[in-house]
């Protein structure tokens, strides 16, 4: 058997278009995206802290940007990314402990991660506005 025959008889590796997207797969991708988004959010927090240390005029300027509709929308997204990534980390920790590998447990953990991140984010913003 020649080398060409061996290569032609090997199965091809499936690509992303063959897989049916399931919730755990999508949440894994979202977990990576939120991790990357947290870098951007950390820059926003650092900018706000630098503005606070720079003086009242610059601090007011940055607060005006963050207080705009677009600024609040970005901060809301950052809050959701932070909470979602944290809950995803807890989900991965549960898996690291050897639990939650069954099909129903995996689905439940993923759904709890998604629902929990939305609910906690909304609650944090409601509390933030109530305290303000």
Return d(Cα 83, Cα 75) in angstroms, integer. Answer: 12
Backbone angles phi, psi at 45, to 5 degrees: -65, -45
Cα dihedral 59, 129, 32, 110 in deg (nearest 10): 170
Q: Does the annotation flag 84 for ligand binding?
A: no
d(CA 79, CA 125): 9
Q: How far apart are CA 114 and CA 70, in angstroms?
A: 24
User: Which residues are part of a known binding site for heme?
Assistant: 85
Residues annotated in a binding site: 85
């Amino acid at each position: 058997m020649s080398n060409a025959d061996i290569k032609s008889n090997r199965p091809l590796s499936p690509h992303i278009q063959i897989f049916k997207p399931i919730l755990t797969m999508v949440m894994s991708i979202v977990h990576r995206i939120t991790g990357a988004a947290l870098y951007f959010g950390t820059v926003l927090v650092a900018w706000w802290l630098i503005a606070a240390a720079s003086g009242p005029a610059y601090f007011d300027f940055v607060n005006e940007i963050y207080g705009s509709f677009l600024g609040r929308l970005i901060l809301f997204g950052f809050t959701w990314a932070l909470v979602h990534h944290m809950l995803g980390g807890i989900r991965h920790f549960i898996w690291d402990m050897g639990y939650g590998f069954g099909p129903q447990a995996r689905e439940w953990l993923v759904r709890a991660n998604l629902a929990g991140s939305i609910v906690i984010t909304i609650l944090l913003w409601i509390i933030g506005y109530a305290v303000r």
